Amino acid sequence: MCSRSSEPRERATAALLSPYRAGVASVVVVMLLLCACEREERQFSAQGGSSPSAASMAPASITLSDLQPGVSTQARRGERELEVNAFSISEGQRLYEWFNCNGCHANGGGAIGPALMDDVWIYGSAPANIYATIVQGRPNGMPSFRGRIPEQQVWQIVAYVRSLSGQARKDAMPSRTDSMQVKPRQVALPREEPKSSAPPSGNQP
Amino acid sequence: MAFSAHAQSSADEWAIPARDFANTRFSPLADINAGNVGSLTVSFTFSTGYLRGHEAAPIVVGGRMFIITPYPNVLFALDLRSAGAPMLWRFEPKPSASAQGVACCDVVNRGVTYADGRLFFNTLDGQTVAVDAESGRELWRVKLGNINLGESMTMAPLVVKNKVLVGNSGGEFGVRGWLTALDAQTGRQLWRAYSTGPDKDVLIGPDFKPFYESDRGRDLGVSSWPPGAWQRGGGTVWGWISYDPELNLIYYGTSNPGPWNPEQRPGDNKWTAGVFARDPDSGEARWFYQFNPHDLFDYDGVNENVLVEIPVNGTPRKVLLHPDRNGYLYVIDRASGEVISAKPFVHVNTIESVDLKSGRPNYSQSRIPQVGKVVRDICPHAGGGKDWQPSAWSPQTKLLYIPHQNLCQDEEVTPANYIAGTPYIGATVKMYPGPGGHRGALTAWDPVGSRVAWEITENFPVWSGALATAGNLVFYGTLDGWFKAVDARNGKTLWQFKAGSGIVGQPVTYRGPDGKQHIAVMAGVGGWAGGVVAGDLDTRDASAGDGWAAAVPDLPKFTSKGGTLYVFSLK
């Protein structure tokens, strides 16, 4: 299993520098391994690892407003730490259906709840914001799932939700579906630029 | 002020959403008629300030108009005696905002109803409220539904013999359906009849005499389900109630069973997707007929039951007309529950025929949903040949005017996971236009000949109610905002007006204090069909809006949100 240590990179570099006989083919193979290696980076337990730290989830670190007097001090905390790979996204998709998220948000296009595949983020697009939305609920119909979904699984749902608008690496996103095709393949959809906006009506779902 | 003591409407008024107990939506007013409707113009408008689907009927009694909005269910009283109909009062019930999360098909309200100086309506979060029509003061309110179990309330109450009849919504949330009678004076609960479970909960006793064999037996509301599944089996009562004072029976339909995935509920799933006849005094059931035993496609049985008398083989019979979601128009003897005829009024390929001997539909085997398979070309789609939008009956033409859609779908069912208060569906659907390519129609149906008298096709599904008048006119609205008057005899369009938003409301007519006949309707696109606009759905996902994204992806180009009352009269 791959790890994130620098060891494989060093070996790869050595392979690239070695005289010729390795050939172009091996370079390609190594490059593929590299991609595969990063892509398959995954976390198997809820302990430690790459889940956003408790500090980044403290209420004081979650911001719902773009308006901060003077210069913005907002760092998008949590975003970089979120584990995003094919495994977390596919697990997130399974859980998204299992916890009936699709009953309200469909396959990203929305229904009872707002669309998740567009560029509108009423309560924030950062992983910590989405995590907070799922756990806390929101006033206009979003249920609070606190105590109902294990923390690590919430993060996996967060990874999947972000992938719906292209906020994930293309090589980590599912390329085909096992179910009835209801939308273009995720990798074929554009990456949306998240905007902390309200829907055109001003309604706050 | 002259508020009369009735729950039906006088000739000049429109006191309850369906106008009369028989649910005809027919007005005897004829000042506006096929000859002069061309000069109909706007006399006043009123903006409600809300932008979700406005499905309610304006109510007119005693020189006042009462209108109710979608969530947050604000009730307005307008003074028809003064120019421009200024607001007399507004009543804000302030329902829980979280209720919006358990409203399957937009946060609609289908109307306020009037009886004996009081107004009655339901709030989205499951309350029934009584308000004094004169002052706008709250008289009582009772909490009947629980959003944490997925219950909401959207239907218009009916008042019969001093009892306020109300039912719940939530067939897509694994709710257990019921109809409840409340004392109109106090709000005290008099009886509740569940749509699933043991006979004592369903109020089935010795007087229950269903016409067909398959509805007879003990506790069928339990035994026609897998163990315990009836507790989350749907059968909600979110549609229309009619009343026959002579037989002293009320009639209402029950919703689809939950979940949509039929593999999770083998059995007939009593008493969902059918019609009950009950004694309003005790609530006891007299008969039941199931349009869709073991429903396969979300075909609720809640559509209106219009009480009329028509000749059957030369003999006049008291029947009810029921255009069902499954696309069949049922003519049922309303004393016995016998189906006299059942014929499709739209393109149907899910049911081959209805066996009048057993009363049961013959389901097309090729259309039965199965886990692990995509079933294509299902007609009509989950919204049915017709949904909640009520039809109108003219005793002059003897035709039923049915507003409806013409849509089909592909469907894949999956195991549904029951989590209280969240959707319980287990199906992905993708809708598209039915044969002919038009997505809606207004069909004039002759129930004696069991045939279409005439039909107007519309580009979009017709999601508004219909209104018929003695002036030989039929009014209806379109999803893209046209309000039309057509000749009741031949369907010729005589007048049309483009409203500011799509029309999903129920048109009404009345004679105002000015002596003139008026036509009123609310515009404000939404509901299940208009959710693409009202809910800002992303139509790149065909499954958005429970499949409607693919049915009307172009709707945002034709109309936008609104919430406006329009009132018309002759120049």
Question: Per-residue pLDDT tens for B8-28?
Answer: 789 999 999 999 999 999 999
Distances (CA, A) of B343 to B63, B255, B336: 42, 21, 20
Catalytic residue among B256, B326, B406, B472: B256
Dihedral in degrees, nearest 10, Cα atoms B232, B233, B239, B242:
-110
A26 min Cα distance to partner chain B (Å)? 41
Question: Per-residue pLDDT tens for B76-96?
Answer: 999 999 999 999 999 999 999
pLDDT averaged over chain A? 77
- Does residue B3 sit within a domain? no
Contacts of B174 in chain A (CB under 8 A): none
On whether ipTM exceeds 0.85, the answer is yes
Task: Tell me which of A12-21, A77-86, A141-150, B540-549 is least confident.
Answer: A12-21
Q: Are residues A16 and A59 in the same domain?
A: no
| CATH classification of the domain holding A157 | 1.10.760.10
Task: State the total domains in chain B.
Answer: 1
Q: Is A177 on the interface with B (CB under 8 A)?
A: no
Neighbours of B355 (CB within 10 A): 13
Helix (H, G, I), strand (E, B) or coil at A27: helix
Q: Are residues A59 and A116 in the same domain?
A: yes
- The tokens describing B250, both together, are 């009320």
Residue type, B279: D
Picking from B66, B107, B470, the residue whose alpha carbon sits closest to that of residue A205 is B107
Neighbours of A163 (CB within 10 A): 27
Mutate to test the interface with A, among B175, B417, B536, B546 (most CBs of A within 10 A): B536
- Does residue A193 sit within a domain? no
Residue B390 has pLDDT above 80, yes or no: yes
Task: State the total domains in chain A.
Answer: 2
Q: Are residues A16 and A109 in the same domain?
A: no
Question: Per-residue pLDDT tens for B404-458?
Answer: 999 999 999 999 999 999 999 999 999 999 999 999 999 999 999 999 999 999 9
Residues near B445 by beta carbon (within 8 Å), at least 6 away in sequence: B323, B329, B345, B399, B400, B401, B402, B451, B452, B453
Give per-residue burial for A98-128: e unless 16+ CB within 10 Å, then b: ebbbbbbbbbbbbbbbbbbbbbbbbbbbbbb
Q: Is B539 on the interface with A (CB under 8 A)?
A: yes
Query: Could you tell me the pLDDT band of residue A22, with boundaries at 50, 70 and 90?
Result: low
Task: Tell me which of A29-38, B318-327, B461-470 is least confident.
Answer: A29-38
- Does residue A205 sit within a domain? no
Give the range of the structural domain holding residue A33, as residue numbers without chain letter: 7-39
- Does residue A49 sit within a domain? no
**Side-chain half-sphere exposure of A92, counting CA atoms within 13 A:** 29
Q: Are residues A100 and A184 in the same domain?
A: yes
Picking from B348, B330, B327, the residue whose alpha carbon sits closest to that of residue B339 is B330
pTM: 0.92
| CATH classification of the domain holding B363 | 2.140.10.10
Picking from B209, B447, B489, the residue whose alpha carbon sits closest to that of residue B320 is B447
- Does residue B168 sit within a domain? yes
- Does residue B199 sit within a domain? yes
Question: Per-residue pLDDT tens for B529-562?
Answer: 999 999 999 999 999 999 999 999 999 999 999 9
Q: Are residues A60 and A143 in the same domain?
A: yes
Predicted pLDDT at B323:
98
Helix (H, G, I), strand (E, B) or coil at B94: coil
- Does residue A199 sit within a domain? no
- Does residue A163 sit within a domain? yes
Q: How far, in Å, CA of B261 to CA of B225, rounded?
A: 14
- Does residue B19 sit within a domain? no
Predicted pLDDT at A71:
72
- Does residue B36 sit within a domain? no
The residue written with tokens 């693919």 in the block is B550
Q: Are residues A60 and A31 in the same domain?
A: no
User: What residues pair up with B569 in beta bridges, in sequence order?
Assistant: B41, B518
Q: Are residues A114 and A164 in the same domain?
A: yes
Predicted pLDDT at A178:
81
Residue B111 has pLDDT above 50, yes or no: yes
Q: Are residues A28 and A105 in the same domain?
A: no
- Does residue B495 sit within a domain? yes
- φ/ψ of B137, rounded to 5, equals -85, 140
- Does residue B265 sit within a domain? yes
Give the range of the structural domain holding residue B204, as residue numbers without chain letter: 48-570
Q: Are residues A123 and A172 in the same domain?
A: yes
Question: Per-residue pLDDT tens for A149-202?
Answer: 999 999 999 999 999 999 999 889 887 788 899 999 888 899 999 988 776 554
C-beta atoms of A106 and B535 within 8 A:
no
Question: Per-residue pLDDT tens for B148-196?
Answer: 999 999 999 999 999 999 999 999 999 999 999 999 999 999 999 999 9
